[in-house]
Structure formats: C-alpha cells, structure tokens
Structure 1
Amino acid sequence: MQIKPTALLSGIVRHFLVVESDTQSTMRIFSDGNTGIVFNYGDTLFYQNEMQPGPASLPVSFLYGQLDAYRNVWAHGSIRLLIAVLYPFGAAALFKIPASELRNQIVGCDDCFKTDVELVNDEIASLPAIHDKIRAAEHFLLSQLHGSGSGNALVTHAINVIHSQNGLVPVTQLAALTGVTERQLQRKFEEQIGISPKRYAGVTRMQYALRMLRKKSTDLSLAGIACESGFFDQAHLIREMKNLSGLTPGQYLSPTNVLAANFVRLGH
C-alpha cells in the first residue's frame, strides 16, 4: 500500500509504503534508486551483517542508503513496517551530509536524528489506524526538516531526464543536457544521491523492465521486454536482474511474492 505524503514533505518523501505480513518469511530488498526511513511496529527484524558471522537485529527505526547489492531481512513473528520512501536526494537533503557516506549503510534513527526517536517509535506502534501512524511519522520528519527540503536543481533535472527516458540515456548526453562536464555530474550525483549517474540510470532501466513484468496485461514476451527496456537480449536482462536482485523473472513474479517494486518475499 502506497500513500502520498503531506504537501509539506512532498519535496523529500516520494510516498509512504506499508508492509504487513503474519507469515514468517525472509524478504529481499534491492535498489530502486531511492533511500528510505523504516519504522518497525511489528516484531524485531534481522539481517545478515557482513561484519559478523551471525544475523544482526535491526533498530526499531532506521535509515537505509543506496544499495549496491541486495539484502535479506526477516522476522520470527509478524512484520509491520511503515517506510518513508525518500527521493534519491532525500537522505542528503534531510541530514545535510554527502549521500555517498550512507551508501550501503543501515543506520539507526537514534544515530541520525538529534531528538528522541523512541517517542515517535512508541507513538507509531500504539496508534491503531495506518493514517494516524503516517501522520505521526510526518510530524516527526517535519520537525527534523531544517532549511531546504528538496534536492540540488542540477541533480533533480538530471533525474527527471533519466526517468523520462526510462534510464536509456548515456552519461555524455545527460551531461550535455544539464550543461556540466561528466566529471562534475558524477561528483554531484555522488554528493546528492550516493551513486554515479550511470549506476542510477541502470537501476532506472531495470525498474522500468520490472514494471513491464508486473503488468499482467502486457503482450510482450520476456525477450520483448528486454528489447523495449534497452537490454541486448533476454539473457542480458536476466543476468542484470540477478546482479541487482539475485532473482530470475520467474522468481520475482511468483504469486504473493512482490510486496513492493524492490521488496520481495522469498518464503519461509
């Protein structure tokens, strides 16, 4: 379930996403070009931390930056997540730090925000209705928003161009359209988004292919989707999809698996 934010947050929050499940399962998250803030009002979430051999528990609320590789998360009970999906530049705009520092990071909100995060965590958990939980999250985020709540104009323009072309735009052309050198564009993307323009365009192209996959009414075959979304052939699409998500198209589209575009239930 996706819900649009209040107008006051519309420059930084793309939408709120609600994920609820009572089935014990592992879930996989992979890059869609956005970052996000997760408020967990269910049972404790766990993930595999590369820095230690066993699983690690996630904070009740946390921020995730741009992801280079997919991650698996799971709970031993109910899953109840309210996710503020930020625009690609949202983390840098909100925290006033280079987005590159958040790349591949999961950071507890206690370490991100100066105010007492436990209060909003408790409030979100105690409120019965989803719209009330979202209102509490919005009030909290607005209290943290100091100064500009939007991204750099050059980067925003570049992102709009990338999306208008479904990711099928070379970096040379993107630099020419934004009036800067490729090196300047690269630096701005690293600062504001946390990944390169080439990487962002590639993720956008894959998300375009996944949207076509999810459309039940499409008449295109997998080979047709690959061609339409700018891949050399079906094998190229499958290879790139596995690199991004670890999944084949068939695994991605298994019944009840897709919780969000980049959030998939893997099973028990």
Structure 2
Amino acid sequence: MNYHETIVSNEQLKDSTLCYWEMNGFIDLEEGIDLRYIPEGQNLLIFNFGNPIELLDTSEKNSFLSSPFFVIPAIASSRLFNQKGKIDLFGISFIADGLFNLIQQPISKLQNSFPINLKDKCEEMYAQMEQMTFTDRSELVESFLIGHIKQNNGNPSFSKAYKMIKEAKGCIKVSDLAKKVYVTERQLQRLFRIRLGISPKDYCKVVRVNSYIDFILNRENLVDWMELVVAFDYHDQPHLINEVKAISKLSPQKLLSYRDTLYDYYA
C-alpha cells in the first residue's frame, strides 16, 4: 500500500486541522491485511472510495465500515481493522477541538453515529472527489473547512490545557491542569469529552505513550528501560509497560519490532 500526507499550512486551519492524507493500493490476499490504528488524540473524517473496511476488535459480528464516509472519534486505546481488495482512502486529521468547531456537536456522542449536519455536504464532496487526484481532493476539503469551521468558538481553558499536555508530553496531572486553567477537574473533564471526545486523563496517556513510541522507534541503540521510566514520568517499568499495552494493545517489545518498518501502516 501507498501512504502520504500533506500538513495543513493555511493560517485559518493550522490550529484545528493537522493534515490531509491518503492510503491506496490493492490487497489481493483472501484474508486481507490487519492494520492497527494507535490513537494519537485526533478526530478523523475519512472518505472511502475502495472496499469496505472490517472492524475486528468489536463484539458486533460482521462489523464493516461500509459507509462511503465516516468519523473515527478520538479514542483511548487502539483499534484493529482488516482491509482487502481496493484501498482508496482520503482522510482529514483534526487536532484539538477542530472537529467540534466544524460540527458543533459533542464529540463523545459520535461513537456510533455520523454528524447529521455534515452528512449532505460529505455526500456532495464524495461525489466530486471520486475521480480527483489527492491534490484536488485536498483543495476541495480545505475550501470547505475554511468556510465552515467556526474560528471564534474556542474555549480558553480547553485550549490552554490541551497545549500544556502537548508541551509536557502527557506528563502532567489533571488536578494540576485544572488549577492552571482556572476550572474544576469536573469542568475540565466535561470540556475534553465535549470538544475532543476523551477525558484529559486519557489524552495525557495517549500523548505520553505516543511520545514514548516515537522515542523508541527512532532510537539507534538499545533501550534503557530505567531511562524511559524517568524520562516519561512513570512510577516504574511495569507502569510503563501496562500503559503502553493499554493504549496500543501491543507490548513495548512488540513495538520495538516495528523500528525499521513503515510505522504509518501500524499506527
């Protein structure tokens, strides 16, 4: 499969939209290929011009993402998908409360539904994009986002807390965050669930684990586990291992085996 992305540089969108990306190719294996999506605290809007995608780690039988477009809300642990046949995906990766400012609906309520106020426009864009190149698709959705993301709908407490978590690489307590942004912990929990889709505690874990993953995948020599425990503010090695497994559903040792692979396909 082929994957590439374009980082959003438009000044109006850079605080709400990270990138546009595409994945395409053909998988002729009868059993398909299993791909693991490791959460990065982003909300995704995906247009599928290829075969349906099967969601594997679910209690629902025959759970296929057969819709031509769908949202994958920010999640706190990885999901496993199976893809086969024609692969042609175009996606938008939102950061912070970008998707919330587009749809004006609580992100935490999108687990099993698609934003009603976005459906008609997505149907229209889907029909237009089907025969377009990646560049043309990107320009089309960027024009749409500029016209529809509410630029003055931010929340200062959420924005400050989100930025602090990123800067601390997830190594910060929610109680300290709440004090620094002048809200109660309960208010902060509500802000994150509405605007991002997961709790501030879960978002801290996602950011910390992704920082850890980036570190070990780009390290040239052997990993010193105690160095990692200290660097990423874990209590001890079991705490590190358990949190990595909770988020990625892979052990740190298994993640190390991806050191020389195209990690995009696993994340």
TM range (shorter): 0.7 to 0.9
Match of 2:96, SS? coil
Residue in structure 1 matched with residue 141 of structure 2 by the alignment: 137
Q: 2:55 is matched with which residue: 28, 47, 54?
A: 47
Instruction: Give the match's secondary structure for 2:76.
Output: coil
> Matches of residues 204-215 of structure 1 in structure 2 within 5 Å?
204-215=207-218
2:195 is aligned with 1:187 = no
Contact preservation (8 Å) 2:76, 2:206: no
Q: Compute the displacement of 1:21 (Å).
A: 4.3
* Partners of 2:43 and 2:72 within 8 A in 1: yes
1:119 to 115, 124, 128: 124
> Any idea what the Cα deviations from partners look like across 1:159-185, whole Å, max 9, x if unmatched?
111111111111221122112222222
| Distance apart, 1:95 and its partner CA | 1.0
| 1:90/1:150 contact within 8 Å kept | no
Instruction: Determine the C-alpha separation between the residues in 2 that align with 1:47 and 1:134.
Output: 26
| Whole-angstrom CA distance in 1 between matches of 2:12 and 2:119 | 21
CA distance in 2, matches of 1:167, 1:89: 17
Q: In structure 1, what is the equivalent of residue 263 of structure 2?
A: 258
One-letter amino acid of the structure 1 residue matched with residue 63 of structure 2: P
In structure 1, the residue matched to 2:68 is 60
Letter of the 2:192 partner, please give it: F
The CA deviation at 1:18 is 2.7
Deviation sequence 1:78-112 (CA, Å, 0-9, x none): 3232221111312221111122212xx15446x45
Q: State the TM-score, normalized to the length of structure 1.
A: 0.84
Given that residues 209 and 226 in structure 1 are in contact (C-alpha distance below 8 angstroms), is that contact kept between their aligned partners in structure 2? no
Letter in 1 for 2:19: H
Return the alpha-carbon distance in structure 2 between the equivalents of residues 225 and 57 of structure 1: 37
* SS in structure 2 at match of 1:43: coil
Aligned residue identity for 1:83: G
Shift of 1:158: 0.6
Given candidates 227, 240, 243, the residue that maps to 2:243 is 240
Separation in structure 1 between the aligned mates of residue 156 and residue 221 of structure 2, nearest angstrom: 35
Q: TM-score normalised to the size of structure 2?
A: 0.84
Structure 1 alignment gaps of length 5 or more: none
Amino acid at match of 1:215: N
Partner of 1:27: 35
Find the residue that maps to 1:84 and give its secondary structure. Answer: strand
Q: Which residue of 1 aligns with 2:172?
A: 169
